[in-house]
Structure 1
Amino acid sequence: MQKGDHLFLVDGSAYIFRAYHALPPLSRKSDGLPVGAVAGFCNMLWKLVEEARETEVGVAPTHFAVIFDHSSTTFRNELYDAYKANRAAPPEDLRPQFSLIRDAVRAFDLPCVERQGFEADDLIATYTRLAVEAGGDVTIVSSDKDLMQLVGPGVTLYDQMKDKRLGAQEVFEKFGVYPEKMIDLQALVGDSSDNVPGVPGIGPKTAAGLLDQFGTLEALLERTSEIKQQKRREVIEANAEQARLSKRLVTLDQNVPLADGEGLDDLFIHEPDGEKLVAFLKAMEFTTLTRRVSAKLGTDIADVAPAKVAVEAAPRGPDLDASWTDASGPRVGNLELSPAAHAQARLAEAAAQTVDRTAYETVRDEARLAHWIRRAYEEGAVAFDTETTALDAMRAEIVGLSVAVAPNEAAYVPIGHVGEGHGDLLGHGQDESVGPQIPLGRVLDLLKPLLEDPAILKIAQNAKYDYLVMRRHGVEIAPLDDTMLISYVLDASSSLDGHGMDELSERFLGHKPISYKELCGSGRAMKPIASVPIERVTEYAAEDADVTLRLHRALKPRLVAEGLLHVYERLERPLVPVVARMEERGIRVDRQILSRLSGRFAQKAAGLEADIHILAGEPFNIGSPKQLGDVLFGKLGLPGGKKTRTGQWATDARLLEDLAAQGHELPRRIVDWRQITRLKNNYADALPTFMDEQDRIHTSYSLASTTTGRLSSSEPNLQNIPARTEEGREIRTAFVPASGYQLVSADYSQIELRLLAHMSQIPSLVTAFREGQDIHAATASEMFGVPVEGMPSDIRRRAKTINFGIIYGISAFGLAAQLTIPQAEAGAYIKRYFERFPGIRDYMDRVKQGAKERGYVETLFGRRAHYPDIKASNPQVRAFNERAAVNAPIQGTAADIIRRAMIRMEGALAKERLGARMLLQVHDELVFEVPDDEVDATIPLIRHVMETAAEPVLELSVPLVVDARAAGNWDEAH
């Protein structure tokens, strides 16, 4: 090896486990041999080796080796007999794959290195040292923190699954120290997975701070007297020898003796023997990868016999027998597989096939488009995607369309592309300089029968957008499946990054698609997609359709396997066209009312600003958190002041409201100023910018952004307009109906309390709801022994606050702030509430216990909300997840009920030939535009649909009640 060479070192042992856990169980068809880890390993290795020259993982490798752990003990066990003693045995179905994976590396003609008495990390450290000394560069293919100590000049870590490189700066950003201090940091922190003891109670942040102060572990242990915190000092002093031992355990050996034939020069990479590799892949029955490898290496599959691979006996069982040879579903002989095995097989199939962008076609004439339409009819399903000029579906113009009918069988149809300097044509016409394009009208004529054919399934990612874009052009896509919503049903977890196509592709397919930023640039350099070269857009757009199709094949069977198909089919899929039509209709807003409100709010804000300056004793920028904090806590010395990490005083809304509740006038005025300023900026001034030519606003609803199934509104957000303040209600007066119509607001009355009564089965609450009593007065009477008749309003208000607070897991501190009472008194109220209604505490305990056992809770309709952190060691994180888990079945069931009402509503109105149009959904409220002469007939129908929405799936023990009325603006209707 010499200067300029580049060595790739693959952490083979880590590769095995990542491959194993990335795919569900997968077996060879012929004999049931488990091969899922082998399949994942081969695909990852092929992609790394063959695509390194084409994709950004650094300079293409000149030298390459895959390093494995040896099964025997190492020198570290002699130092510390408990080292890795807590490691569980590998899964039974993984054991026979270890030798197969080593055979795979040899089939790739790559060095496969392991050494008795040493770990793979020690070999990697040794090769890294030798390569650097020879003047070469090193890429360590791993994400293991134990290897970060090796990062330095010419040495980087590459996480292939995330396509992310880690240099010295990235290590610092992650752990707070540079690579040269990682050994000391690990010695302090320890490692529970390897049973490295470390120092109890020292986490990465604390360790980084100590090393920043003292420099090294040795210096720290010599100067413990300088540690200010007594408890920390005592712990470190008591565990000094343990820290020194831990350092020896985590320090990698860079001098492992290498066998003959395993020196640096023996690691030179060359193209694999095509016949040898294809023979191995055929033996494993990896059809797709075999085809891809044979095409790349020019080897005829038919001419190569499967290799004879010796394997140890493999356990057999239904999960290990999964294959996918039958189009109707996987089978073993005459035995049809279970839904779980079917889902696992489809996920494995989708993940095992590498995306090949070179296989995509640009469709420039009607004959080729007709070909793709025929292929869609042959397959019975087609993935579909639009490329447009804007994210707003109501304003977007179509630039092109993409379709996919099978993995790597996808095409892009350019329609509105233009060359440089033809921006005036974007989305509006044809530009001959970019080559032939089929006119939009002809594309729609040809595609409309397919997209509207009820026998052909259309698949999209975030289908609402494409549905709405095509509907504006006269095409009503149906039936329609949405991969985003399928993923959302499978795991609506707050810990996930989201359900976007790119995230799902990386998570389930191990593939990183071309991003929009890569395609079009960003900032001032961003180009409209219509002016990007068509060939490049083909790669991007066809890939989107291809990946969407693969995700559908991978994820849809899981709905059946995990018992969630009914949630998707009844609550998600049918809602897409309903919400899209709501967005299309929009709601009318009166510009003049907003203009008058803006002026009034400006005057009120100015008056509050003057009062604030007088109370503060000086003028300052109220909108500046720094200046505000300096005045409140620096100058005036108000209680409760605390500084953020940046050294500024915290001035969040809750802190200011707490101070206001304690009687401090200045914070009260600041809260009022913030509220009026927010209403002016976010609504009175901003709403007109969202209006179309008919003065209608078209909000966008997200169907997959909450863990409980609630919809969220954006661009603009119409769900956060305050309804409890006078100024917030004034904003709602600007929302008005079209001429000849009235607005009808229909709102579920106390639906979450009713559901809590049903779920916890508290007799007094159930009876109160059945008899139509004032539930807050009834609660107050039960808690405080006060008769309902003539009850003081403040007693009822306290009961109301407690009722709603209990649902959201309110604390004594929070209740005290809301009721402006001492915390001890608030705690007594909560205690008394649970004493009077013990069933609620029992219900909450049951939910929390179930969530800890399963990791999720369910609504009454079977929707799952996942809380993977509910058993977190951090008590604050754990408590937050417990509160959310208790609330989710209640709030989620309420969300499911209003979804069911929305899905049924349009059909019910049409059946009665009523002209009402559903416009908005705001939590438990639906807003309609109803013809003047149909109001009396429409309101009872709306009430009926909403009040019976849970039926026949649920028989609630309490009635659902809907308040509905009509008026000339939203505020009066509500």
Structure 2
Amino acid sequence: MKHVFANVGINLAGVSDDVMLESYVLEAHRPHTIEKLAANWLKYELRGEEDLLGKGAKKLSFSKISVENAADFASERVFIVSCLNRLFKKALSDDAKLEKIYRDIEMPLSDVLFKMEQNGVLIDTKLLDQQTVQLNAQAQKLEEKAFEAAGEKFKLSSPKQLGEILFDKMGVVLDGAKPKKTVSGNYSTSEEVLSELAENYPLAKIALEYRTITKLVTTYTEKLPKMVDPKDGRVHTTFEQAVAVTGRLSSTNPNLQNIPIRTEEGRKVREAFIAAPGCKLISADYSQIELRIMAHLSADKRLVEAFKNNEDIHRATAAEVFGKEKDKVTPNDRRIAKVINFGLMYGMSPFGLAKNLGIGRDEAKNYINKFFARFPGVHEYMDSTRALADRQGYVETTFGRRLWLPEIHAGGARRAAAERAAINAPMQGTAADLIKLSMIAVQKWIEEKGLKSKLILQIHDELIMEVPEDEVDLVKENLPKIMDSVTELHVPLIAEVGVGDNWEAAH
């Protein structure tokens, strides 16, 4: 709504509440459309747009609806919003922590996101066009390699045809047997299935690479130039504030949160996000934020001390697990420790760790046991968190955001997944709260100093600013200080800063 008014030169001010954000803070795991809220909270069936405008080819625009019908439709919604707001305000006032999340984080953040969406980011369309040509050439070469591996031509982009080639013609087996077909009657060729096969079957590896390349083309290099606003040459993404149950932000049209950064091709896409003339891009992201939050939540003495002493946390973990002096830790020791550190945050089992490291399950279990023996606070935190989730149906972030786990009392795999989420959600959710607090603090600093610098993007734990060259030194010095000081944990927060002419160079 703010964008609608802004487009005609009106600044919408005086907004005191947002029913969608109230609902999100109270019940992040449930839908937040006004129709669903009316049904869930008021037991009222609210007419949808389809009831007024129709659907499909016969759908009308609002300009074709009589003023009386449009007024009835709008006034009913205004009344429902008013009723919901009264309910939600009461529910939030009954929980001081949730009200603080709403008042101090989500509401101020909505203004910051509006400004960021208005700012947009400058795109080098010529570079993206060049990348499209290069990526399409790579995809064609991969197709030829796939035909050679299969012994015939087929449509590599077709999961059905790929499955038939792999499992019927080539006789590939998964866990010692031909996989069962899905409800659609086709073999699954999901990323998980292909990743498992890739080590032993070249065609599976080729198919994975092909999908990565073609997705970059269709989602970014080919699509982004079409999304540039001709008025300013910039792309204006929409930040979704009330979607992820952990509190994380997402973005749509385009989705900039999922640009792959582990491949050279993915990183090249970020080179097309450029600074305006006379400006630089500055990127700042929290270093090892979820591991730091694990140390804070668990209050494990060894883990906390390692971060306080600014140690290489993976090397420190390896030294503890393998019983070595830190200077005796090998690169392979550190690699194993890194997998253990991140794996435990996501509730990785001995089976998962064994598969990830390519070792036996007993060896993996031994690594995990050694980790918990050296970091008992982490083990106690995980046990108590699972028990808490089972008892109350949710867990919380450091700031009190409530993270609901609807399947915690389910059986089998669903419960196991909910228990893993119970461990990870407080870390992801706390990281989300931290970056939101940083965005609010940075925007406030920009306005107080009267700077021309702009916040333009937020990607996971990273903030990206477009900064005039005469403000670069000031922003580079103060941005990490602001981010590091938004709250106090048992361990220090560290934001690392980079400067460049494009996003990749600044990261």
TM-score bin, normalised by smaller chain: over 0.9
Match status 1:819 vs 2:357: yes
Q: Are 1:555 and 2:88 counterparts?
A: yes
Q: Are residue 664 (structure 1) and residue 198 (structure 2) matched? A: no
Among candidates 83, 97, 110, match of residue 576 of structure 1: 110
Query: What is the CA–CA distance in structure 1 between the aligned matches of 2:309 and 2:483, rounded to whole Å?
Result: 20
Structure 1 residue 795 displacement after superposition = 2.3
1:602 corresponds to 2:140? no
Q: How does 1:801-816 map to 2 (within 5 A)?
A: 801-816=339-354
String of CA shifts for 1:465-508, please: whole Å, max 9, x gaps. Answer: x1232233222322331001111111122xx2x11111000111
Query: For 1:613-692, what aligned pairs fall within 5 Å after superposition?
Result: 613-640=147-174, 641-661=179-199, 663-692=200-229
Partner of 1:69: none
Is the Cα–Cα contact under 8 Å of residues 752 and 891 in structure 1 kept in the other structure? Answer: yes
- Contact 2:282–2:497, Cα closer than 8 Å, also in 1: yes
Deviation at 1:547, TM superposition (A): 1.0
The C-alpha deviation readout for 1:591-629, integer Å capped at 9, x for no partner, is 011001000000000000100110011111112111111
Q: Secondary structure at the match of 2:283?
A: strand
- Show the counterpart of 2:326: 788
1:469 is aligned to: 4
Q: Paired residue for 1:526, among 55, 59, 62?
A: 59
2:26 match = 490
Distance 2:308 2:3 in 1: 42
User: 1:471·1:477 contact (CA, 8 Å) conserved in 2?
Assistant: no
- Partners of 2:58 and 2:387 in 1: CA distance: 53
Give the equivalent residue in structure 1 for 2:233. Answer: 695
Partner of 2:283: 745
CA distance in 2, matches of 1:971, 1:638: 40
Unaligned runs of 5+ in 2: none
Tell me the amino acid that sits aligned with residue 471 of structure 1. Answer: A
Q: Which residue of 2 aligns with 1:908?
A: 445
- How far apart in 1 are the matches of 2:213 and 2:324? 38
Q: Which segment drifts farther, 650-659 or 906-915?
A: 906-915
Corresponding position of 1:503:
36
CA displacement at 1:710 relative to structure 2 = 0.6
Distance 1:638 1:680, change over 3 A: same
SS of the residue corresponding to residue 906 of structure 1 reads: helix
SS in 2 for 1:620: coil
Look up the equivalent residue of 2:357 and give its one-letter code: L
Query: Once superposed, what is the RMSD of the aligned Cα atoms?
Result: 1.5
Equivalent residues in 2 for 1:375-386, closer than 5 Å: none
Distance 1:683 1:626 in 2: 25
User: Does the CA contact (< 8 Å) of 1:467 and 1:577 recur in 2?
Assistant: no
Give the total of aligned pairs.
Answer: 500
Classify the secondary structure of the residue corresponding to 1:803. Answer: helix
Higher share in helix:
2
Larger deviation, residues 778-787 vs 499-508: 778-787
Letter matched to residue 537 of structure 1: A
After superposition, the C-alpha distances for 1:809-857 in whole angstroms (9 at most, x for unaligned) are 1233433343333444333333332232221111011111111111111
Runs of 4+ in 1 over 4 A off after TM superposition: none
Partner of 2:338: 800
Partner of 1:426: none
| Deviations 1:731-778, CA, capped at 9 Å, x for gaps | 000000111110011000001100101111222211111111111111
On the 8 A contact 1:482/1:573 being kept in 2, the answer is: yes
Aligned counterparts of 1:725 and 1:812: Cα–Cα separation in 2:
28
Matched residue, 1:958: 491
C-alpha distance in 2 between matches for 1:917 and 1:970: 14
Q: What is residue 328 of structure 1 aligned with on the other side?
A: none
Which position in structure 1 is the counterpart of 2:126? 592
Aligned mates of 2:351, 2:286 — CA distance in 1: 29
Q: Distance in 2 between matches of 1:487 and 1:858?
A: 17
Structure 1 or 2, whichever has the larger Rg, is 1
Cα distance in 2, alignment partners of residues 706 and 899 from structure 1: 14
- C-alpha distance in structure 2 between counterparts of 1:798 and 1:919, whole Å: 37
Q: 1:918 aligns with which of 455, 469, 489?
A: 455
* Cα distance in structure 1, aligned partners of 2:143 and 2:371: 42
- C-alpha distance in 2, partners of 1:854/1:570? 25
Please point out which of 478, 487, 490 is paired with 2:14: 478
Asked whether the equivalents of residues 701 and 712 of structure 1 are also in contact (C-alpha less than 8 Å), the reply is yes
1:66-105 equivalence runs, <5 A: none
Alpha-carbon separation, structure 1, partners of 2:504 and 2:57: 42
Check the 8 A contact 2:285/2:462 in 1, yes or no.
yes
Tell me whether 816-825 or 851-860 shows the greater mean CA deviation: 816-825
SS for the counterpart of 1:601 is helix
1:756 matched to which residue of 2?
Answer: 294
**Separation in 1, partners of 2:505, 2:220:** 18
Q: Distance in 2 between matches of 1:877 and 1:729?
A: 35
The percent identity for this pair of structures is: 41
Which of 78, 83, 87 aligns to 1:545? It is 78
Q: Is 2:241 the partner of 1:706?
A: no
| Secondary structure in structure 2 of the residue aligned to 1:610 | helix
One-letter code of the match for 2:90?
P
Larger RCO, structures 1/2 (Cα 8 Å, 6+ apart): 2
* Alpha-carbon separation, structure 1, partners of 2:32 and 2:393: 19
**Contact kept in structure 1, 2:389 and 2:405, CA below 8 Å:** yes
2:424 corresponds to: 887
Structure 2 counterpart of 1:419: none
CA gap 1:967/1:797 in 2 versus in 1, 3 angstroms:
same
1:863 is aligned to 2:397: no
Matched letter for residue 818 of structure 1: N
Task: Give the aligned partner of residue 929 of structure 1.
Answer: 466
- Give the Cα separation in 2 of the matches to 1:509 and 1:696: 42
Q: Secondary structure at the match of 1:488?
A: helix
Q: For each residue in 1:382-422, what CA deviation from the matched residue of structure 2 results, as whole angstroms up to 9, or x when unmatched?
A: xxxxxxxxxxxxxxxxxxxxxxxxxxxxxxxxxxxxxxxxx
Q: What is the DSSP-based 3-state SS (H/G/I as helix, E as strand, rest coil) of the residue aligned with 2:17?
A: strand
Q: What SS class does the counterpart of residue 103 from structure 2 fall into? A: helix
Select 2:479's aligned residue among 912, 932, 942.
942
Structure 2 Cα separation of the partners of residues 750 and 574 of structure 1: 26
CA displacement, residues 19-50 of structure 1 (integer Å, 9 cap, x when unaligned)? xxxxxxxxxxxxxxxxxxxxxxxxxxxxxxxx
**Inter-partner Cα distance in structure 2 for 1:937 and 1:869:** 48
Aligned to 1:242: none
Task: Provide Cα deviations, 1:897-943, integer angstroms capped at 9, x if missing partner.
Answer: 11111111111123233321001111100000001121111112111
- Counterpart in 2 of 1:611? 145
User: TM-score, with normalisation over the residues of structure 2?
Assistant: 0.96
Q: Secondary structure at the match of 2:189?
A: coil
List alignment gaps of at least 5 residues for structure 1. Answer: 1-465
Q: Give the superposition deviation at 1:790.
A: 5.9
